[in-house]
Structure 1
Amino acid sequence: MNFQRGRQKDEPRIDFVPLIDVLLVILIFLMVTTTYSRFSELQINLPEAGAVTPAERPNEITVAVDPAGQYVVNNQPVNFTGVEALSQSLRRAAPAGAEPVVVIAADARASHQSVVNVMEAARIAGFNRITFTTRTRER
């Protein structure tokens, strides 16, 4: 006996509402568990080059570093035996009076450690004002 003779078959259909609910739950889970890292930024104000050459500053100590790791303090070569010795060279080169500015002129191929050595020597010598020399790229 066939009791469903005049009845038509229902077409199968896909219900998207549960799928959307699951996707929203996954999205909320990812938003809650994601960590957003903030990296500390170094704020640097670089000077702009102009047509006028800046005047000589008498309370300046220039330290040059070459790729081989050799140091020159105010045009005088320094035999590097350690940070303490470099600190003593900076103290001897410092002019009397106001706190000098230590200007580090490092070659682009100089090691990072060489520059850090100069910065550490300036800290040991008690000089807190440090700057770097750069050159502008020609375009």
Structure 2
Amino acid sequence: MSLTRSRTRSRTLAAVGFLAATGLFLTACGPDGSATGSATGSATGSGTESGASTPSSAADATDASADNRADGTVTGTLTYLAPGKLEVDGRPFWIAEDTEIQGGEICGDPETQAAETCTADELDAVAKDGNLTVAVTIKEGIAERVVQV
């Protein structure tokens, strides 16, 4: 009887552990610390991408407009949406670890506007002000390059 109870408890604990791990996996955070996944896609109401778990899918799911999701270079005023998530000319995008960020007003001397390499945190800080014009090269919802214009 004791052996049967022990096996039952072991199976129950294993099942609970599996469910807990699955729950954590499904609510995993993106590179900027914000939640990504199918819950993000369904919460927006667009329904265009369900079950997506990449930052680009979460960015794409926030706007149902197909031409707003096209890859390419967009120029306009930089707007802050969330940590690591910005917008330019109505086009939301994510900043990745390998995104190339350059501009004197972002992290360097505004007088020279030299092509200094900047960090995502510096770009977020400047985007909060909302008065910087940039050119952003976007691929699959993630910025490959952000350059001050």
TM-score (norm: length of structure 2): 0.30
Q: Name whichever structure is richer in helix by fraction.
A: 2
TM-score (norm: length of structure 1): 0.31
- Rg comparison, structure with higher value: 1
Q: Name whichever structure is richer in strand by fraction.
A: 2
